[in-house]
Each structure stands twice: as structure tokens, then as C-alpha cells.
Chains A and B, each alone.
Chain A
Amino acid sequence: MTIRCDVAVVGGGNAALCAAITAAEAGARVMVFEAAPKPYRGGNSRHTRNFRCLHHGPLGPLTGTYDEEEFLDDLLKVTGGKTDETLARLVICASEACLPWMEAHGVRFQPSLSGTLSLARTNAFFMGGGKSLVNAYYRTAAALGVEVHYDAPVTHLELDGNRVVRLDVTKDGRPCRVEPKAVVVASGGFQADIDWLARAWGPAARNFLIRGTPYNRGAVLADLLDQDVAAVGDPTQCHAVAIDGRAPKYDGGIVTRLDCVPFSIVVNRNGERFYDEGEDVWPKRYAIWGRLVAGQPDQVAYAIIDARSLDLFMPSVYPPTTADSIEDLAGKLGLPGPRLRATVDNFNAACGDISGFHPTELDGVATRGLSPPKTNWARPIAEPPFYGYPLRTGVTFTYLGLKVDGTARCSRATGPIANLWAAGETMAGSILGQGYLAGLGMTIGTVFGRIAGREAAAHAS
């Protein structure tokens, strides 16, 4: 069976839908091929929550001003300069016009509420989160006549020189050929393909948890890279954070976060500490802990707190392991009891004056003469009951992707590909070379999704 259309969009998340809607509004006949079944549509956009946005003066739910230089500065800080500044400025400047566009296409925002007030100026929060945004876009797309195929993974893009001539799609379990005039690839990274992750990172990656959709397996990305489409981003790296070790292998999303580390001591399988738990506030440290835990035996660690700290952080989705003594807790967690006892005793002995303890700021309450030190919130683990939480490495996304220009167009060594554009996580490595900035994934997806949709529709007409 051969299907023809103007614009084929590969993927079904935020960037894909922004592209599909924009192309359809320009008059193109658009088809969306989403690998996931309908209940899992939307890729990692389902798990997102907000959109980072430039603005001069209050805009929608956003307060104050967030200008180009401050935005870029924030980006440079997290990426350590690993960003294409031209594309970064393009995204930053275009983000302002996106917010009203999103509202006009069904997205609803809410003021920042509990736990997110620190982002009230820079990030606009979706009412109901990313899945409600995805739902709104699917409704809008349907009203524009966009044809959406679920359970329809694209397996191959056939390139003839610098043109895509055909897509191979599995639809209703059968192979099917699609011959579009233009193609937008917006199908994310490869983090759900554990074998690929293990090849890139090393065998330790088999113990990682994947925080998002199991459908981002990078099949289209691999297919295009095999055909020498230009790549960007470190192929060996992924964004990883420390999450609850009991989370599902895939798709645990936001609820698997654990915010207890700054108030805890974190030990490895051998009952030994390995890093300063109080180096900085948790939102600035959860990403490095993904790597730290990945470096421990079996890629697992345990955060231990006492009764005084239980209410200092957001509730966890799984209850902690509880015991009235450190030895009992070690037994329940499968840790060596005497070793954990010694670690806790050494830590407690190194704690000094705790009268300045302040959970929400860097309080300087530090250990003395301990290696590694704990430089803030160092309060003895002394008051039973004691609580333990397992930590594992949770992968958010991968950095390897397709290199694009300012019109979202992909290229080969021989020059630009005439009818192939990319948007979203699959090209975000151009801008986010390392690290992550909250809400920027959705900004990149929205800006480049719209550009890709516009360019693809113009090409098709």
C-alpha cells in the first residue's frame, strides 16, 4: 500500500504536533506517524510541565522580565558553552511569540504553585502538565484535518541523493510506503533503546532507569545517521539524574524524583559515602547525582535520613524503608550493618554546631575532618526511626541528534537535504550540548516545530 501526502511528520510529541499544525494551517495535507499507541501518544512531552520563555514585562502567567541576554546566560551556564549560539538566540527570541500561539492552539497555563515558585518569572506552567498540552494539540490538529496514525512506527527513510523519496511505516501491523513531498522528523532521542545506551555509555547503562516513554528508541535517528545525515551532540552522553531506585524501568516520570539527598547521607552498596550530599540545593545537584550513582557498584545508592528530616522535602511516591536502628535499616536495605553503623558514626562525630540548620538555604552547617565532607545541612543521623531510600540513575534524554540550520533543515556532506526538516529532542543537541535548563526542551520543540512545519508546507505547495 502506498500513501501520498504533502507533509509527513515522524513522531507525535510537542515538536511533531507544532509542525503538523503549522503545516496544516498553511494548507498542506499532513499525516502524523506516531510510534506509540494512542494512550501513550506524545513521547516525552507527556512528562513535561513548563515552557521557558523570553518576555519583556508580564506575559500570560509570567512575571517580570526575562530578556535575551539573561536567558542566553542561563543556557551558557548549564551547557558550559556547548551550544550553537546562533540557533540558541533564534530559539530564545522566538519563544516570546510562541506563548500566545500556544494559547491560541488550545494550551492553557497556570500560575506557578507549590514547589515551582522559583520559576514563576522564567517558565510558564501548563495547566494539567504536558499530557494536557499534547491532548490540546491533537484536538487542534484533528480540527485542521491532520491525519494521525497511532501504533505506526517509521522504520526507514529512503534518501535519493539529497531528497527523501519514501518512508517505510508499519501501520496496523503491516508494512506500508508513504510518499510525502516533505518530511519533518520529530521523534526524539534513543534513550529507550537500552542496547544502544549500553553501547554508548558502557554496560553500566543496563542498570539505568528510563524516566520517559519506552517508544523513543531512536530508530529513525539511527536510520538517518546510517545514511550520513549530519549529526550533532555527544553520541556517548545522556542527561541522567538520581531518582527513586524502585521506579518502573520506563515512564516513571516526575513522581520518581527524590528530594531527600541534601538532608541525608548517601552510601553505596558497601555502606560507604562517596560524595558531598550538601554541596548545593537539590535542583542544582540532582543531575550530577545521576552520574555519581552510575559510578557506584551495581549503579545503586541509598539515602539515609533520620526522623527529623522526613518532612523537609516533597513526599516520595514510594514510602521509605523504616527501622528503629541503623543496623535494622541496613538489614532491610541489604547493606552491611556494621559498615553502615561505622559510616553513620563517623559522619555524626564530624558534625558540629547545628544551631544554624536551615533546610531551604545553603546554611553552611558542615562536617569537619570528614572525607568526603558534607558542606551544608550536616546534622547527625541520630533520631529514630531511620529511613532509607534507594537511588538509581534515571535517563531523561540523549544528546546525539540531527544537525539542522536556522530553518530546521537537515543536511548531508553534499549539502542540505531538499525536503527533510527536524524538530524537538532529535535536534536539541545543537543547542543543549550538555546539561539541561528546565523548560528549554519544550521551547526548542515549539520553536523548531513551527519552523519545520512552515518550511515543509512551503516546500510542498
Chain B
Amino acid sequence: MQADLLQEARRQVEICNACRYCEGYCSVFPAVHRQRAFSDGDLTQLANLCHNCRGCYYACQYTAPHEFALNLPKALAEVRRDSWESLAWPNGLARAFHRNGLMIAAATVVGFAIIFWLARTWGEAGGSGFYAVLSHTAMVAIFTPAFLLPLASLAVSLNRYWRATGGGAIRLADIIDALKSVGTMKNLASGHGDGCNFEDEDRFSQARRYAHQMVLGGFLLCFASTASGTVLHYGFDMPAPYPLWSLPKMFGLPGGVLMTAGALWMVWLKLRADRDLGDPSAWSGDMAFTLLLGFVGASGLALYWLGGTPAMPALLALHLGSVLSFFLLTPYAKMAHGFYRMTALVEEAQHQRATEADNALK
């Protein structure tokens, strides 16, 4: 990891540890206050715990032009991105995509091209509907590795993360605590529940919290849609297409709407937010990935509305192409944040439990 980024984060965190005014905002500060010195692993954990709500920046009496020049959301965002790049496997890929929206766009176009090419060569193999464009076998052959390889890559990275930050044996209670934090986006609520500071300087707003949960909820619904389709196909011999009142559609339709609308809302918010309170070098990569996520949702919805028209084969290729790129980019782009942050929250729950046990002994 980059020593200069870690050193700057350490300088700032040590000032925070002498101040403690922000203690109530989020999980980062209680984690800071438990310690007196901060190793690279500690800083990596703090950086991944930070949700970039920016409450601490606007409340800080030491931001520039003060000579202490604190900008903790930025310092932690830079360490966070740097940690993802160096923990990724293979890590060269993360360096290519995190900071480069054009590369993400290019990867997406490559995804389109692959599917178009496959459709020409493997299409019309006696299937009907979507499978007339690309056979079911071909889809499985492409998407099974495209789904599993990124998960394997993430597993390697998270294992590296766990070792670098000193995580212990995981208990169910830690996972439940972390899931609660994610479910409520507690760390984007600033302690008082009024939301975070993002699109309009120091005004507290729920917009980012809600937009995030729309994307997250939408994504999970889409995932449930695909999973239920797989079960119907293999378990009940019920291949696609599915009617409106079927599990894949009942998950997929609201999922697609939420994911598309949430991603667009997030893009709108990101355009208004101060880029210098995050990692400016990751802005284009994050933006491109959010747009890609929105495109996955939107193209899926388009496919539903226009599935019976001559536009279908082209739409299917665009949709599947974007899904392919999305899967393959996941360990190396913004999507990785969900996996790392969940891990950081589990570890924080662990540390909290250990501190409470220590205090009880005293």
C-alpha cells in the first residue's frame, strides 16, 4: 500500500483521537478512540469502516484553511481505494479499473461485443425466445465462470484483508450486527438519524442513504430473480420466458426498477457532491461503474417491455453484455466496496464485543 496515503490518514486520525467531537457520528470514531497508535492494518480497517458520510468534515473545526487541514473523508477514501487495489487478485486489474471510467466503459463494450459475437456463432440452435438468440447452454457456459471467478477473486482479497487487519474467529453475532448496520445504513445516518452530508454541503439529507438502499435492494431482487429462474429451469423443468405472476418476474421487475432508479439518483447526487471530500482519482471509475449498474437494470427492463419485438436480439445482447462486464469487473471496481465494508463491519462488531468484555472485567 502507498505509504504517503497511510501516513496522511495516520496524521489526521491522531488529531481526531485528541478531539473526539465526532464520536457520535459513525462507527469510525469509537474504533479510533479505542486505540492510541495506528498500524497500517488499523488504518485499512478504519478506511473500510468509513462510509464517506462527510458529517465529520463539515463538523470539523480543523478543516482548511486551518493549518491542521483535516479532510478525514478524503484521507480514508484514498486509503480505502488503495487497499482495494493492493488486496485485489490479480491486483493489476484493480489498478486499471478503480480510477478509470473509460476502462470500465471499454470493458462494457467488450462485453457487448463478446455476446454479439457468440450470438452470431451460437445462436438459433433450435431454441425459442431468448434462447433463439443465444442457447441456454451457451449462457450457462459463459455466466457460470463469469459469476464464480469474481467470487473466487473476492474470497482471496477478503482473506488478505482479514489477515492484514487482524480479524479473529467470526461469530454469528458479529455477522448479524454487521447485517443490521448494512440493512439500516446506520453509518450514513450520522448518529442522530437525519442522514448524511453529501449533495448540499452541510445539509443533512437521507437522499444518499435511500438511493444506496434502492440500488442494494434492487440488486438483491435481481439476484433473487435469476436464482429463482435457475431453480425453476433445473428443478421444475420450467424454462424462460416467465409470465408476470412468476417468481423471476416478481423479483426482477421491481428489482430492475429500483436498481435503475437508484443508480440514476446516485449519479445525480454524485454530480452535486464535492469531489474533494472523496477520492478524486476514483471519481470517474465510481461514476462509470454506477452507470453500468444502472444500465444493467435499465436494459433488463427494456428487454421485458420489448422482448416480443424485433429489437429483442440486440437488446438481449446489450443486457447480457452489460451483465457480463458487471460480473467480471466486480472485484476490481466500486462494487467491491460492499464486500470489504461488510467485512470491516463484522470485524468492528468483533472489536466492540472484545472491548465490552474488557470493560466488564474491569
B-contacting residues of A (Cβ < 8 Å)?
A: 39-40, 46-47, 49, 108, 110-111, 113-115, 125, 127-132, 135, 139, 248, 251, 253-255, 257, 311, 314-317
Contacts of A316 in B (CB 8 A): 18
Q: Is the CB of B24 within 8 A of A254?
A: no
Contacts of B20 in A (CB 8 A): 113-115
Q: Is the CB of B58 within 8 A of A135?
A: yes
Q: Is the CB of B14 within 8 A of A110?
A: no
The residue in A49, A311, A317 that gathers the most chain B C-beta atoms within 10 A of its C-beta is A317
Q: Which of B173-194 contact A (CB under 8 A)?
A: 190-192, 194
Whether B171 is near chain A, meaning CB under 8 Å from some CB there, is: no
Secondary structure at the B interface, as helix, strand, loop or mixed, is: loop
Contact A110 to B23, CB < 8 A, known contacts A127-B191, A128-B59, A248-B67: yes
Q: Is the CB of A315 within 8 A of B23?
A: no
Q: Is the CB of B21 within 8 A of A251?
A: no
* Interface residues as binary, B69-106 with A (CB distance below 8 Å gives 1, 0 otherwise): 00000000000000000000000000000000000000
**How many whole Å from B68's CB to the nearest CB in chain A?**
8
**How many whole Å from B48's CB to the nearest CB in chain A?**
22
How large, as a class, is the contact surface on chain B? Answer: 20 to 34
A113, A131, A248: the one within 8 Å of B60 (CB): A131
Minimum CB distance partner of B55 in chain A? A128
19 contacts between A and B (CB under 8 A): A110-B23, A113-B20, A127-B24, A127-B59, A128-B24, A128-B59, A129-B19, A129-B59, A130-B21, A130-B61, A131-B59, A131-B60, A132-B58, A132-B202, A139-B203, A248-B67, A314-B18, A315-B17, A317-B14
Q: Is the CB of B191 within 8 A of A110?
A: yes
Q: Is the CB of A132 within 8 A of B59?
A: yes
Whether B15 is near chain A, meaning CB under 8 Å from some CB there, is: yes
Minimum CB distance partner of A248 in chain B? B67
A46 to B191, CA, bound (A): 20
A-contacting residues of B (Cβ < 8 Å)?
A: 14-15, 17-25, 30, 33, 36, 55-56, 58-68, 190-192, 194, 202-203
Contacts of A40 in B (CB 8 A): 65
A39, A129, A139, A315: the one within 8 Å of B21 (CB): A129
Contacts of B30 in A (CB 8 A): 113-114
Contact A127 to B14, CB < 8 A, known contacts A46-B61, A108-B192: no
A39 to B60, CA, bound (A): 10
A139 to B197, CA, bound (A): 13
The residue in A47, A113, A115 that gathers the most chain B C-beta atoms within 10 A of its C-beta is A113
**How many whole Å from A255's CB to the nearest CB in chain B?**
4
A127, A135, A315: the one within 8 Å of B202 (CB): A135
**How many whole Å from A42's CB to the nearest CB in chain B?**
9
Q: Is the CB of A255 within 8 A of B25?
A: no
Minimum CB distance partner of A129 in chain B? B21
Contacts of A139 in B (CB 8 A): 202-203
A311 to B22, CA, bound (A): 22
Contacts of B36 in A (CB 8 A): 311, 315
A132, A311, A315: the one within 8 Å of B14 (CB): A315
**How many whole Å from A353's CB to the nearest CB in chain B?**
24
B21, B56, B65, B194: the one within 8 Å of A49 (CB): B21
